[in-house]
Amino acid sequence: MPTMSSRLCRILALASLLVALTGHAGESTGIPYTPGLDIAAMDPSVDPCNDFYEYACGGWRKNNPIPADQSGWSVYAKLHQDNLGFLRGILESASQPSASRGESMQKIGDFYGSCMDVAGIDRAGQVPVMPVLERIAQGAKRSGWAALLAEIHLVRGSAFFRLEASQDFSDASAVITFLAAGGLGLPDRDYYIAADAHSVALRTAYVDHVTRLFSLAGESPQAAGRDALTVLRIETRLARASLTRVALRDPQKLNHRMTGAALHRLAPHFDWVAYLTERGLGDVAVVNVTEPEYLREFDRILVSEPSSVLSTYLRWHALHDASPHLSGAFRHENFAFYSKTLRGQAEEKARWKTCVAMVDRQLGDALGREFIAKAFSSEQKQATLRMTRQIEAEMRKDIESLPWMSAGTKHEAVTKLDSIVNKIGYPDRWRDYTNLDIRPGDYFGNLQRASAFEVQRHVAKIGRPLDRAEWMMTPPTVNAYYDPQMNDINFPAGVLQPPLYDAAMDDAPNYGDTGGTIGHELTHGFDDEGRQFDAKGNLRDWWSAADAKAFETRTQCIVDQYAQYVVVDDLHINSHLTIGEDAADLGGLILAYNAWKSETENKTLTSREGMTPDQRFFVGYAQWACENSRPESERLQVRTDPHSPGRYRVNGLVVNMPEFERAFACHKGDAMVRENRCRVW
């Protein structure tokens, strides 16, 4: 099972200390500097009591149109691109052969260089994917599908299902085999089922896309069209047997631990012994099947469909997985559907952006070490950790003072809070790539070997002691997350850069942005998902019945509020999908405000740039969320993203905070003043 809901967040360190450590943020790294609170990003013509998001971000939105190679543009996306540019410099240097180049630099440099060899990739055409296509075309009998699927899954394929290593829900210290749903070419199961005109049109476009890829691989137009319809039919069967994204948020619905014998009974027409043996697992004693009905449908497909249909489905997924990495015709077709049609992106990204991102994905720790050496210090790590602990102390006070929670549940909550591990910047132990073979000029081969290396590394965890020091994001990543089974919060160094990490700012915006982020991540440990896990990461109900009901009543307030917001056309936020993020946003900002007040209790605060300290706190928070999005991307977000759009991650919070109302002298009846305020934490 993948890590529970990755969490977008922003984090800063204690400003005064960082100024002393690093001087003006950005000067020492070469990453372009943007202030954490940018006056030019605001639109003072907008009444903050009417639309605070537009007041804080209107200037940014006007001055930052969406680049042609993006489906949307945001403060986060810009920092991601700035970080890519910084990493590009490292990789351009590493790709030049040199006697002084160490093994790590050789690997990241040769991988990058092979990816940038577009002429060589284009000359190869579809040759790199032909071996697996030929094995599929041989028409393996049902007894042979197991070995074939194992081969496809070894290189990160997900045809039919996915096998992963994950923590046992019942015992988080144990790593066991997980079998999860997979095998869909569209972004979500609802795309196959929904009857609205937009979904029907997308399915038609998808069939056209599959047809064109089959044609590129050598099929006649007629055969390609028939095969594309076969793919849609099989994937629709799988989609109908899949859980919705809202259901996937409930870990109880994913907890189906069973013996190997029970797995065989669940899907008896698949050779699990052969498959697991090929994956290096032999006879698995215990497995968690996250979606049993999905595997039952997989088994029914094996029985009811002829080998030719299974072959067509597997050929499509082999082409689908490979097409972004093959010659231009395949790359352009993949872009045309997945980026242009689905997300509205007008142009393909420059090749260097793709290649930097691929190195980060496949050799993230090797590239990350170079990033850390140039863009992040141990002093910065300690300063950020200090601020994290300040917010944790504030959360402890909040839990202990909650009027709706009983003493017994509070004790469990505080125990869990005290057990959270804070991972800041980079891991304590770097991944070893010694046994990974990277060759100059062999991009597809490098990609396959690197994927197999990572897949095998994950599978090797099964049955071994849990490594609680492991990170699930690479150090240059502009993102962060909370993991309820590890019970840790993770802030890579990539997100600790200006404007999200600005040592030049005063306390108010720092606590608005930084504190809000830290509080957001901490709150995830107690949102509708996280609250179901205890201090050790075990799926265990530690709530009294009355406290659980009180929690659900308070979260329902947020669900009802966000369900009213329209994203695009007539599509409203699916607030049952976004409730975890929405509740964490609100709880995090409240914690940040209280921590800021505690930190500055004995200080004399003054206005700056025409704003009071309280106003700077709220604007500092809001500006991380400045963004522009294409309608296509917004439609995709509504269906698949557990985060609300940036506008509502700002306006949806301040309407619930009387502190905001006082800061901007808002009045009852103003749009940013909500009569029945929501609050959980």
Q: What is the pLDDT of residue 11?
A: 32
What is d(CA 456, CA 514) in angstroms, rounded to the nearest whole number?
A: 37
Of 369, 621, 584, nearest to 492 by C-alpha is 369
Q: Which residues contact 128 (CB under 8 A, 6 or more apart)?
A: 322, 325, 326, 444, 445
What is d(CA 674, CA 565) in angstroms, rounded to the nearest whole number?
A: 14
Residues 447-500: tens digit of each pLDDT: 999 999 999 999 999 999 999 999 999 999 998 899 999 999 999 999 888 888
Q: What is the pLDDT of residue 30?
A: 75
pLDDT at 610 over 60: yes
Of 117, 128, 115, nearest to 155 by C-alpha is 128
Q: What is the pLDDT of residue 13?
A: 30
Q: Which structure tokens are listed for 9?
A: 């967040």
Give the rounded percent of residues in the chain with a pLDDT score beyond 90. Answer: 85
What is d(CA 67, CA 344) in angstroms, rounded to the nearest whole number?
A: 11
pLDDT at 18 over 60: no
Q: What are the CA-CA distances from residue 257 to residues 264, 320, 466, 531, 602 (Å)?
A: 13, 31, 18, 21, 54
Q: What is the pLDDT of residue 142?
A: 54
Asked whether the beta carbons of 450 and 439 are under 8 A apart, the reply is no
Q: What is the pLDDT of residue 667?
A: 96
Q: What is the pLDDT of residue 140?
A: 61
Averaged confidence pLDDT in the chain: 92
pLDDT at 623 over 50: yes
Q: What is the pLDDT of residue 141?
A: 58
pLDDT at 20 over 80: no
Query: Phi and psi (nearest 5°) for 383?
Result: -65, -40
What is d(CA 178, CA 162) in angstroms, rounded to the nearest whole number?
A: 8
pLDDT at 544 over 70: yes
Task: Please state the rounded mean pLDDT for residues 98-105.
Answer: 91
Q: Which residues contact 2 (CB under 8 A, 6 or more apart)?
A: 164, 166, 180
Q: What is the pLDDT of residue 6?
A: 36
Query: Phi and psi (nearest 5°) for 467?
Result: -95, 95
Asked whether the beta carbons of 617 and 591 are under 8 A apart, the reply is no
Q: What are the CA-CA distances from residue 396 to residues 393, 485, 490 (Å)?
A: 5, 20, 19
pLDDT at 230 over 80: yes
Task: Please state the rounded mean pLDDT for residues 8-31.
Answer: 37
Where in the chain are all domains bearing CATH 3.40.390.10?
Answer: 15-70+377-429+469-663
**Residue scoring higher pLDDT (505 or 229):** 229
Q: What is the pLDDT of residue 198?
A: 94
pLDDT at 28 over 60: no
What is d(CA 252, CA 171) in angstroms, rounded to the nearest whole number?
A: 14
Residues 640-680: tens digit of each pLDDT: 999 999 999 999 999 999 999 999 999 999 999 999 999 99
Catalytic residue positions, numbered? 521, 585
Topology classification of domain 142-348:
Neutral endopeptidase; domain 2 (1.10.1380)
- DSSP labels, 61-91: HHH-PPPTT-SEEEHHHHHHHHHHHHHHHHH
505 — pLDDT class (breaks 50, 70, 90): confident
Q: What is the pLDDT of residue 378?
A: 82
What is d(CA 161, CA 291) in angstroms, rounded to the nearest whole number?
A: 10
Q: What are the CA-CA distances from residue 50 to residues 660, 661, 664 (Å)?
A: 12, 11, 11
pTM: 0.91
What is d(CA 54, CA 86) in angstroms, rounded to the nearest whole number?
A: 31
pLDDT at 503 over 90: no
Q: Which of 55-64, 545-554, 601-610 has the lowest mean pLDDT?
A: 601-610
Asked whether the beta carbons of 652 and 562 are under 8 A apart, the reply is yes
Of 321, 279, 254, nearest to 532 by C-alpha is 254
Looking from the CA of 369 toward its CB, the CA atoms found within 13 Å total: 14
Count the neighbouring beta carbons within 10 Å of the beta carbon of residue 569. 11
Asked whether the beta carbons of 458 and 281 are under 8 A apart, the reply is no
Of 115, 117, 119, 109, nearest to 87 by C-alpha is 109
Where in the chain are all domains bearing CATH 1.10.1380.10?
Answer: 142-348
What is d(CA 436, CA 449) in angstroms, rounded to the nearest whole number?
A: 7
CATH number of this structure's domain 15-70+377-429+469-663: 3.40.390.10
137 — pLDDT class (breaks 50, 70, 90): confident
Q: Which structure tokens are listed for 520?
A: 């957001």
Q: What is the pLDDT of residue 21?
A: 28
Q: What is the pLDDT of residue 12?
A: 31
Sign of CA dihedral 134, 323, 231, 166: positive
Task: Please state the rounded mean pLDDT for residues 354-366.
Answer: 97
284 — pLDDT class (breaks 50, 70, 90): confident
Residues 399-453: tens digit of each pLDDT: 999 999 999 999 999 999 999 999 999 999 999 999 999 999 999 999 999 999 9
Asked whether the beta carbons of 645 and 572 are under 8 A apart, the reply is no
Task: Please state the rounded mean pLDDT for residues 335-348.
Answer: 97
Q: What is the pLDDT of residue 2?
A: 33
